[in-house]
Amino acid sequence: KAKENGKNDCMLYSDSWSNSSFERLKLQHEMYRAIQRHEFVLHYQPQYDLKSGIMVGVEALVRWNHPVRGLLAPGSFIPLAEESGMIVQIGDWVLEEACRQNKEWQDAGLAKIPVSVNLSIRQFLQHDLASRIAEVLETTGLEPKYLDLEITESMTIDVGHITRCLLEITNLGVGISVDDFGTGYSSFHYLKNFPIDRLKIDRSFVRDIQQDPSDAEIVAAIIAMAHNLNIQVIAEGVETEEQMEFLKKHRCDEMQGFFCSPPVSSDNIEQMLKAG
């Protein structure tokens, strides 16, 4: 069938195809050793209170310091890790490292703020998730209120299981945020059925707040609705002062985005916390 296409097309097609599947296999194989080799690192993106401008949290974002390819963004390996199931081990490492680091900052006398950790659906399907979280809090000594877990709307595979799991987690005193809010098919279902503390307005709505009146309406409505339900709101992907002003005007609680800071190393966060 490939022969029906032009000769060059065919070669390009098969080349890039075999290449990429080979690369994927290789990367998947390398991922297995990456944890023991300490090749994963966490960067942290600050979250700010919109009224006071104070840093009120950080989101842990994983990177892979690959020996040959350099520092890889999650987009280039998380999907593979999800596919292979390795995300469970990587996610477990992320959870423990984020809690350990946060406790270290607190012990050094820096601000006590929660760290947000992204959870994969695969981690939810492990039935011991809540006890694993309790164990990590115990071993790192971090108080539960300084951990926040980010879940996404795609996590509706087994609603009963997820509801029980989320209740177990909130009973520990750990916070729950809905990430990328508004991009899935089940936004309202989440708000109605799950014990949610905070929602994160997806960056795709924030991006065109200034140009697109419907995005502006949607963002304003999400904030108002969340507040009526006693849910805090943080806007993701804030890149301009105008976006920030809009969010402030509509009483959004917090913001996160390149306008304030991209994700940075733990050393950088330490400096920022020291500077106040």
For residue 94, state whether it binds ligand C2E (rule: CB under 6 A). Answer: yes
Residue 45 binding partner per list Mg ion, ligand C2E, none, with a CB distance cut-off of 5 to 8 Å that depends on partner kind: ligand C2E
Query: Least Å distance between CB 108 and ligand C2E?
Result: 23
Tokens of 259: 């306008």
Residues 6+ apart with CB under 8 A from 23: none
Among 61, 133, 137, 174, binds ligand C2E (CB under 6 A): 61
User: How far is the C-alpha of 64 from the C-alpha of 77, rounded, in Å?
Assistant: 8
User: Cα dist. 254→11, 103, 232 in Å?
Assistant: 50, 23, 8
Structure tokens at 110: 């820096």
Residue 114 found at the interface with ligand C2E (CB under 6 A): no
Q: Which stretch binds Mg ion (CB under 5 A): 15-23, 75-83, 148-156, 207-215?
A: 148-156
Contact set for ligand C2E, span 150-209 (CB under 6 A): 150, 179-180, 203
Q: Which of 97, 150, 253, 254 binds Mg ion (CB under 5 A)?
A: 150
**Could you give the CA distance from residue 101 to residue 142 in angstroms, rounded to a whole number?**
9
Q: Write the DSSP string, 135-189.
A: HHHHHHT--GGGEEEEEETT--TTHHHHHHHHHHHHHHT-EEEEEEETSSS-HHH
- Residue number with CB closer to ligand C2E (17 or 115): 115
Q: Pick from 44, 45, 129, 151 the residue near ligand C2E by CB under 6 A.
A: 45
Tokens standing for residue 35:
């944890």
Contact status: 258 vs ligand C2E (CB under 6 A)? yes
Backbone phi and psi for residue 73, each to the nearest 5 degrees, phi listed first: -75, 155
Q: Please give the residue ranges that form the binding site for ligand C2E (CB under 6 A).
A: 45, 61-62, 73-75, 78, 87, 91, 94, 118, 120, 150, 179-180, 203, 237-239, 257-258, 263
Q: Please give the residue ranges that form the binding site for Mg ion (CB under 5 A).
A: 118, 150, 179-180, 203, 236
